[in-house]
Chain A
Amino acid sequence: MRYIPHTEDDVRQMLRAIGVASVESLFASIPEKLRLGRSLALPKAASEQEVLAELAALAARNAHAESHDWFLGAGTYAHFVPSAIDALASRAEFYTSYTPYQPEISQGTLQTIFEWQTMICALTGLDVSNASMYDGASAAAEAVLMAMRLTRRHKIVTVGLHPHYRDVLRTYSAGPQGVVAEAPREASGRTVPLSNLLDRETACVVLQQPSFLGVVEEVRAAADAAHAVGALLVVVVTEALSLALLRGPGELGADIVCGEAQSFGVPMSFGGPHLGFLATRSSFVRQMPGRVVGQTLDARGRRGFVLTLSTREQHIRRERATSNICTNQGLMLLRATIYLALLGRRGLRELARMNLAKAAYLRARVRATPGLRLPISAPGFNEVVVGVPGSAAHALKHALDDRIVGGLDLAPYASEFGPALLVCTTELASRSGIDRLVKALSQAG
């Protein structure tokens, strides 16, 4: 076995030092009748060459963003990933280390997290960020639990929230008796005024920006409505690139901004590992879940970084911890930090404008194409609801025949628009690809 270095001589020498006769006798503390007593029924070991071939064959049975033109978003986004990210994230010093418990030999990871926290604060318009959550959905769930603790209330009103996120909120908040309700939508796709839906039992409003249907929502009005009843505003962002154009929700009154940063250099990878983020006001930091890195000095007065405020965490506070999270998404945080460093102050905006332009082009083409509709008039970023003739499933099938993954069938999520797709245009969508998509969808009826 190439991962295990022991020779038979080594084993004999070690057994002698321990003072036992056999490897088997090392397991003497496991009563005989509790031992398996047979080999595990698993396929026999495969060589490296065989494993590569077997996995390549499985990979070949999945469509992916290189095999098809890709217009499917809805929380997971096909963006270009610069080569430097894979190169740097493949450095063993990053990916074969663990949580930086020993700061003197973990400054690479700690400084990266501090840089991430700084950039997330800049993008969200808030004061403090943690060192990642599992994904956008669990980040939203942790934000809700945090709001429930801060307000000691149990009602949660969601606005335009991704249905999977809403499911995860329900799962997480069931223990502390949270009640989750989605605000109704207007025909425009926008949410109805919130004030009628909120009361003194509301812990928080959870507003997705842009919404699941791609609509850019009014943050300030939601913040005012939430604050008027003593509730908090949680803004959830699933398309983090939108933050390059949109004002940090913290500047518009959001108390917690959280979501998914997969768009920043993290592969889609069938939905994970992705990168949950969570930022809040400094006054709430003691209730924030997850790890956080702070600046300090070493014994000789030089700047360094450490994990800090750990009295919030499970290994210290145990059942009174702000969260049970331990291992988080460190390597994805590294990728996103590299991504933001490469794109930087100008590149991120330029890329976001490119996404916006592609969506505007798609809208223009849809508007000009008989049979297709734009049921939502409200502004959006890089996702568009496109009404199709006949059935959405049929339209998607028609696009697939032309090797196009055409978007998400909205039938299970939002039936009021008739047969419709949620179509996403990132920088990977070419003009000719959009033209082919529009043609395929319009001809499906």
Chain B
Amino acid sequence: MSTDDRQSVGPETLGNAARGLAYEEPLLFERSRPGRVGYSLPALDVPPVAPEDELPAALLRADCEGLPELSEVDVVRHFTRISTWNYAVDLGLYPLGSCTMKYNPKVNEAVASFAGFARTHPLQPVALSQGLLYLFHQLEKHLAEISGMDRVSLQPAAGAQGELAGVMMIRAYHEHRGERRTKILVPDSAHGTNPASAGLNGYEIVSVPSGADGVLHPEAVAAVMGPGVAALMLTNPSTLGLFEEHIVRIAEIVHAGGGLVYGDGANLNALLGVARPGDLGIDVMHFNLHKTFSTPHGGGGPGAGPVGVKNLLAPYLPVPVVRKLSGSEGDGFALDYEFPHSIGRLHGNFGNVGMLVRAFAYIRTLGPDGLRRCAEMAVLNANYLLARLREAYHVPFDRPVMHECVLSDARLEGTGVTTLDVAKRLIDHGYHPPTVYFPLIVHGALMIEPTESESLEGLDRFVDAMLAIAREAEVDPETVRSAPHFTRLSRLDETRAARKPILRWQPGPFEA
């Protein structure tokens, strides 16, 4: 390539990124060659049987048509190559607001892979599972201390299942008291899972408007509180990154009306060792171990969403419950199933145990001071980004933030550049974009959560990229609007995907 050609396609490096070679890779099915194998089985040490002799013919399939035929080399290359198309925390800053994309410590992976955890069975004898039950019991205690709640169940498999459990307990509580309450209050800044979890429980959602300063005001809650209200669900700090400073008064209003307060723990990272939901009037909450407690996000899970409650909701916790034996029962731990008011079982087993092991290792590694340091540095990082980015981006609620800050594209109006374009151009600079267009109450929101994992110079590089994009929006908006340019694929047509869904590969020429 001549020097001129290089210049014509733009700079060699941009922000945190440089040009490089990307690898093409077809689908597994397109790589398949008849007769190739990627497995080896031991010799059969019992007499062989024919499926036709063992099972009814009408129920048998002739072939696993549709599965590929590949060597182990093919498979390893395939997944290694496509893995390089992903951005990841281990590559750099992943400022996805509300997702707490902090560093995932390697020692946590190491301990979770111990055979004494990874190869255990949920129905094996309790007497031969005491190491795990001890770990569950300790983790429940630690989460209770961190949150100020009285009891914790580790069962929910993700935050949204924790919410579901929480709302079910709220419903059980009111039903047990013979009260029929049909509504749940949800602030307009809430995560979508909050109304969805309440809706799955048959509740009607009443939206509560945030104040002009971005926080929830007692009057707004009082105006909609009534005898039909089962609970208020709120996130603190809110999705705007603001501490809900009126929370105690708000909780009093809800409690006085006979309702309960649900705390969405998605943003707990900001409060570690600083303040506890249980001290703020929250009756029930969920934790996101994959956010606050560093278990990896895995390309979309698994998470873990333990739920914490005050004593008044303890009778409704999901079963089974881990119990420390006492007195004549001897030492050790048991699993209890008999709770007449329990909401029942939410998970086929005990939840995402592998994630619980990782979170336990994390809490042991950090200790009380390390956890508080997480909150402090996460909040410091978010405020630093806000201080440096406000020169170029609109700040809809301009006040000190907690662990994340929300900007908007309002200052870019007239350039034709929107939040989506800024997000896509950030990719060219070597970053995963922030959460965009959420919370819904901010038009063109960019929700940025750096977490405590990022260094000062790392944040400065990100700021440089954001400021460069804002300048570029003024002088060369088309480059921003058509970003990303450095990726293997350019902007993908999501409308086309939804209009005529192609949800699986089928043989034949590629057709989109």
| Residue A283 at the chain B interface, CB threshold 8 Å | no
Query: Interface code B301-333, partner A: CB below 8 Å = 1, 0 otherwise?
Result: 111000000000000001000000000000000
Q: Is A90 an interface residue (CB 8 A)?
A: yes
Given contacts A63-B125, A105-B432, A296-B496, contact A245 B348 (CB under 8 A): no
Contact across chains for B300 and A274 when beta carbons are under 8 A apart: no
Contact assessment for A267 and B492 in the assembled complex, using a CB-CB cutoff below 8 Å = no
**Could you name 13 residue pairs across A and B whose Cβ atoms are closer than 8 Å?**
A4-B452, A17-B388, A29-B400, A44-B367, A60-B131, A75-B349, A76-B349, A93-B86, A98-B96, A107-B82, A174-B344, A175-B200, A357-B44
Which A residues are CB-close (under 8 A) to B87?
93, 97, 102, 105-106
Give the distance in Å from the alpha carbon of A118 to the alpha carbon of B385 in the complex: 43
Interchain CB contact under 8 A, B491 and A11: no
CB pair B497–A308 under 8 Å, yes or no, is: yes
- At the interface, yes or no: B299 with Cβ under 8 Å from chain A? yes
CA distance A162 to B123 in the complex (A): 13
Counting chain A CB atoms within 10 Å of each CB, which of B37, B65, B248, B318 scores highest? B37
The interface residues of chain B lying within 8 Å CB-to-CB of A297 are 492-493, 496, 512
Mask for B125-152, Cβ within 8 A of A = 1, else 0? Answer: 1001111101100000010011000000
Q: Are B75 and A134 in contact (CB-based, < 8 A)? A: no
Q: A29-B399, A270-B120 are in contact. Are A324 and B512 (CB under 8 A)?
A: no
In the complex, besides A46-B367, A357-B47, 18 extra interface pairs with C-beta distance below 8 angstroms are A10-B455, A11-B380, A26-B380, A29-B400, A62-B124, A62-B132, A64-B119, A64-B121, A96-B88, A104-B484, A105-B85, A105-B432, A106-B299, A319-B199, A321-B196, A324-B164, A345-B66, A396-B125
Cα–Cα distance between A78 and B161 once the two chains are bound (Å): 27
Alpha-carbon gap, A337 to B366, bound state (A):
35
Confirm or deny: A342 has a beta carbon within 8 angstroms of a beta carbon on chain B.
yes
Give Cα distance in the complex from A46 to B86, angstroms: 33
**With an 8 A cutoff between CB atoms, is B370 at the interface?**
yes
**Complex: how many Å from CA A1 to CA B68?**
47
Of listed B352, B379, B388, residue having the most chain A CB within 10 A: B352
Q: How far is the CA of A231 from the CA of B25 in the complex (A)?
A: 43
Give the residues in chain A near B160, CB-CB below 8 Å.
314, 324-327
B448 within 8 A of A: no
Among A44, A65, A134, A340, residue most surrounded by chain B Cβ atoms (within 10 Å): A134
**Contacts between chains A and B (CB distance < 8 A), count:** 721
Please measure, in the bound complex, the distance between the C-alpha atom of A298 and the C-alpha atom of B85, giving whole angstroms. Answer: 15
When chains A and B are docked, how far (Å) is the Cα of A302 from the Cα of B386?
38
* Cβ B75 vs Cβ A338 within 8 A: yes
From A66-74, A181-189, A367-375, the one touching the partner chain is A66-74
Residues on B with beta carbons closer than 8 Å to the beta carbon of A136: 348
Interface status of A121 (Cβ within 8 A of chain B): yes
Query: Is A342 touching B75 in the complex (CB atoms < 8 A)?
Result: yes
**Shortest Cβ distance from residue B324 to the other chain A in the assembled complex, whole angstroms:** 15
B116–A62 CB distance below 8 A:
yes
Closest to B343 in A: A171
| A321 to B199 Cα, complex, angstroms | 8
B83 touches A55 (CB 8 A): no
Cβ B38 vs Cβ A114 within 8 A:
no
- Set of chain B residues within 8 Å of A196, measured between Cβ atoms: none
Evaluate contact between A35 and B275: CB separation under 8 angstroms. yes
Chain B residue with Cβ nearest A238: B348
A273 touches B86 (CB 8 A): no
Q: In the bound complex, how far is the Cα of B498 from the Cα of A103, in angstroms? A: 14
B41 at the A interface (CB under 8 A) = yes
Encode B262-282 as 1/0 by CB contact (under 8 A) with A.
Answer: 000000000011111001100
- Measured CB to CB, the nearest residue on chain B to A249 is B59
Distance, CA A168 to CA B344, complexed state (A):
7
CA gap between A175 and B276 in the complex, in Å: 30
Contacts of A21 in B (CB 8 A): none
Chain B residues with CB under 8 Å of A177's CB are 202
Q: Contacts A4-B452, A405-B121 known; A91 to B492 CB distance under 8 Å?
A: no
Residues of chain A within 8 A (CB-CB) of B386 are 18
- In the complex, the 6 A-B pairs of residues with the closest C-beta atoms, listed nearest first: A271-B349, A122-B66, A59-B116, A271-B122, A45-B367, A331-B298
For the complex, is A151 an interface residue (Cβ under 8 Å from B)? Answer: no
Q: Which of B91, B370, B387, B493 contacts A296 (CB 8 A)?
A: B493
Asked whether B76 is an interface residue with its Cβ less than 8 Å from the other chain, the reply is: yes
Question: Contact at A296–B349, with CB atoms within 8 Å?
Answer: no
Chain A residue contacts of B145, Cβ below 8 A: 40-42
Known: A55-B361, A297-B496, A344-B38. A304 touches B489 (CB 8 A): yes
A108: interface (CB < 8 Å):
yes
Q: Of the candidates B55, B243, B353, B502, which one forms a contact with A246 in the assembled complex, judged by CB atoms under 8 Å apart?
A: B55
Distance in angstroms from B307 CB to nearest chain A CB is: 13
| A294→B502 contact, CB < 8 A | yes
Q: With CB as the reference atom, state the residue of chain A lying closest to B246.
A: A31
Report if B354 contacts A (CB, 8 A).
Answer: yes
Chain A 302-329 per-residue mask, 1 if CB under 8 angstroms from chain B, else 0? 1111101111011111111101111111
Q: Are B125 and A351 in contact (CB under 8 A)?
A: no
Closest chain-B Cβ to A428's Cβ sits at a distance in Å of 10
Tell me the bound Cα distance from A123 to B423 in angstroms. Answer: 38
Q: 1/0 contact trace for B463-483 toward A, CB 8 Å?
A: 000000000000000000010
In whole angstroms, how far apart are the Cα atoms of A97 and B290 in the complex?
A: 12
Inter-chain contact B37/A347, CB cutoff 8 Å: yes
Interface 9-mer from A125-133, A199-207, A437-445: A125-133
- What chain A residues lie within 8 Å of B299 (beta carbons)? 94-95, 97-100, 106, 108-109, 112, 330-331, 334
